[in-house]
Structure 1
C-alpha cells in the first residue's frame, strides 16, 4: 500500500488498535479523506468538530487531560498513542470543565462522521476495534456518549445493519438523511438521494430460489460498495431496494453516478459460490435533490417517485 501521499505510514497505522487486522488497502480511499493535525508541547487541543461526531486518533505523542480550565500541578490523566479523543473519553462529570494539552509533540488523525460510517461499512474489523476502544473508555459514566458515530452504530447493530448485505437499514437512513437535510438548510450545499431497485427480482427469486436471490442481493451490494467513494452512503431501504445518499452532489452528477452503477451491475455475474454462475441483473434508479424547505421523508418520497417512473419506462434506466 503506497502511503507516500499521506501524512502517515502503513506501518504506523497497523500498530494502532483501531486498525489491527484491518487490510489497509481496503480503506485507503477513506484514509485519503482524513486529515492530520500536529500539536507542539504545551499546546492546547481544540477539537476540529463536535466530539460526539468526530474521531481524533492519537498517531503519536500524548495528551494530558485536566478536569479544570486551569492547568495545575495535579497529576493529569494521559491519553496515549492509539487512544481516541471523543466525548466518552474526555467528558468528566456533567458540567465539569476539562481541557487537553499536548504533553509532548503530538499528531492526531481526524475522521469526521461520514468517514466513520464509511470505515465501519468497509471493515467489520475496524468497527469492532473502535467499539472495543470506546467501551474501554475511562470512567464508565452513564453520561458517556458517542452519538451518531460507530459506537452508536455497533450497539444498535441488529437494528440498523442488514446482515445479508452489511449495509445500514432504512431506519439508519432516515436518521442520517434528516441530519444531512439540516446541513443543507444551514450551508446550502447540494444533497442528492438515489433509490435503486433490481428489475424483475421477484421472477429471478422464483426461478433461482431463495439462495439465488440472497446471493444476487449480496453481489449487487458488493458492486455498489466497490463503486462508491467515501462519503457516498448506501443503505438497504427494503427488499431489493437500495438508497444511496450523496452529500454535496448536484442532481446531474447524482444521475451520472446512478447510471454508472446501472452499467456496472449489467456486467456483474452472480456467483453462487459452488461453481454455478447466474446471469447479470439490471436496475432502475430514481434521483431526487434537496430543495429549500424540504425534509428527509419528502426527499425519499421524491426519489421513490422517480424510481417508479424509471420502472414504468421499462426498467434498466435512471429517472429524475
Structure 2
C-alpha cells in the first residue's frame, strides 16, 4: 500500500533499543508525569554512558552542553578539585549539567563518579526539544531549580550562622566564658573612638589575682583554673549590664566601664576586690579552696589617648597596687 514502510525499513527508535528499563526512566525526577510515548523518540536518540569510580564527568570551568540523567550509581560534586571535600551527592533519579545547557556558561564545579554509574546523556538540541515537546518536563525543571534555590539559600543561611558562631567562639575565652584578648584588641579601639572626646567618660580596670603562681604550684593547675573561673564569675556578678570584661591572659582581666569616670571606676574596682576577698572558689573535686585576693589598677580615658595608652596607664596602676602590698586598688594617671 502506498505510504506504508517497506519490510526493509528499520523500525522507529525505541527506549528498549537502548537497553533501558522504563522503570529507570520513571524514577527520574525530570520525567515525573511525562508521557514516555511523547518523548520516547527523543530519549532513544540520547547516549547511554557508564562511568567508573573516580571518573570525571564534568570539570570546573569546562564548557558543558549536556544534561546527564543518573540511572544508577552515584555522583559527587566538588567545588575546588576532584580530591576536595564533596559538597553534594547525586543518586539515581537526579540530573546534572542542565544549568550549563540553559545559561550557556562554563561548569561551576567538578562532577565525579563515586561508584559505577550509568547515565542517559541528553545533548543540548535534544534537551530543548524535550522542553518544547513536554509541558510536564518543563514544569519538572522549574520545580528542580526552585528546590535547588531553596537548598542553596538554606546553605548560605547556615554558613552565615556558622561564621557568626565561629567568630563568636573565636572571641570567647574557653575557660571563663568572658571575652578574650582577641576581642579586647578589636573592641577597645572602637570604645576609644566613641568616647575619645571625654564626654561621656570611659574608664578601664586591670585586675590580677595575687600570688597566683604560688597558689597554682601549691594546689595544682585544676585548682588554679577553678580560681580563675571563680574570679571571672565575681566580675560578671558585680558589674553593671553595660560593663564588659575580658580575660587578658593567665590570671589577668580587663574591664571596660562605659559612662564611668575615675571615681565610678574606683567604686566598681573596690566592689570587685571585696567580692573576691569575701568568697572562695570550689575545687575540681568539690572542696572549698583557700581564698584569694586581687589587685586592681584603674584609669580614665583622656583626650588624645588610644587604647594602648589607657591600658598602659591602668596596668601601671595595677603594679602600683602590687608594690603597695596587693589586695588594693590604685588609680593611674597619664604622664
Q: Normalising TM by the smaller chain, what interval?
A: 0.5 to 0.7
Tell me which residue corresponds to 2:305: 294
Tell me which residue corresponds to 2:196: 185
Report deviation, 1:223: 1.2
Matching residue within 323, 326, 334 for 1:312: 323
Tell me which residue corresponds to 1:207: 218
Residues in 1 aligned to 2:261 and 2:323: alpha-carbon distance in whole angstroms: 25
Superposed CA deviations along residues 256-293 of structure 1, whole A, max 9, x for unmatched, are: 10011000100111111533111111000000111111
Against the structure 1 CA distance between its residues 198 and 164, is the aligned structure 2 distance closer, same or farther, given a 3 Å change threshold? same
Please state whether the residue corresponding to 2:255 is helix, strand or coil.
strand
Tell me which residue corresponds to 2:232: 221
Tell me which residue corresponds to 2:285: 274
Bigger CA radius of gyration? 2
Residues in 2 aligned to 1:155 and 1:229: alpha-carbon distance in whole angstroms: 27
Against the structure 1 CA distance between its residues 298 and 276, is the aligned structure 2 distance closer, same or farther, given a 3 Å change threshold? same
Tell me which residue corresponds to 2:165: 154
Against the structure 1 CA distance between its residues 188 and 216, is the aligned structure 2 distance closer, same or farther, given a 3 Å change threshold? same
Report deviation, 1:171: 1.5
Residues in 1 aligned to 2:188 and 2:282: alpha-carbon distance in whole angstroms: 33
Tell me which residue corresponds to 2:262: 251
Matching residue within 251, 276, 285 for 1:265: 276
Against the structure 1 CA distance between its residues 294 and 166, is the aligned structure 2 distance closer, same or farther, given a 3 Å change threshold? same
Superposed CA deviations along residues 241-270 of structure 1, whole A, max 9, x for unmatched, are: 000000010111101100110001001111
Against the structure 1 CA distance between its residues 137 and 276, is the aligned structure 2 distance closer, same or farther, given a 3 Å change threshold? farther
Report deviation, 1:155: 2.3
Report deviation, 1:154: 2.7
Residues in 1 aligned to 2:211 and 2:198: alpha-carbon distance in whole angstroms: 40
Please state whether the residue corresponding to 1:216 is helix, strand or coil.
helix
Report deviation, 1:174: 1.9
Query: TM-score, with normalisation over the residues of structure 1?
Result: 0.52
Tell me which residue corresponds to 1:133: none
Tell me which residue corresponds to 1:49: none
Query: TM-score, with normalisation over the residues of structure 2?
Result: 0.50
Q: Any stretches of 5+ residues in structure 1 without a counterpart?
A: 1-135
Residues in 1 aligned to 2:170 and 2:181: alpha-carbon distance in whole angstroms: 10
Please state whether the residue corresponding to 2:299 is helix, strand or coil.
strand
Residues in 1 aligned to 2:289 and 2:259: alpha-carbon distance in whole angstroms: 36
Residues in 1 aligned to 2:152 and 2:207: alpha-carbon distance in whole angstroms: 40
1:5-20 aligned within 5 A: none
Against the structure 1 CA distance between its residues 315 and 189, is the aligned structure 2 distance closer, same or farther, given a 3 Å change threshold? same
Residues in 1 aligned to 2:286 and 2:198: alpha-carbon distance in whole angstroms: 51
Tell me which residue corresponds to 2:185: 174
Against the structure 1 CA distance between its residues 316 and 158, is the aligned structure 2 distance closer, same or farther, given a 3 Å change threshold? same
Matching residue within 181, 187, 197 for 2:208: 197
User: Could you tell me whether the CA contact under 8 Å between 2:197 and 2:303 is conserved in 1?
Assistant: no
Against the structure 1 CA distance between its residues 141 and 306, is the aligned structure 2 distance closer, same or farther, given a 3 Å change threshold? same
1:70-89 aligned within 5 A: none
Aligned residue pair count: 180
Against the structure 1 CA distance between its residues 285 and 182, is the aligned structure 2 distance closer, same or farther, given a 3 Å change threshold? same
Name whichever of 184-193 and 288-297 sits farther off. Answer: 184-193
Report deviation, 1:188: 2.3
Please state whether the residue corresponding to 1:288 is helix, strand or coil.
strand
User: Could you tell me whether the CA contact under 8 Å between 1:153 and 1:160 is conserved in 2?
Assistant: no
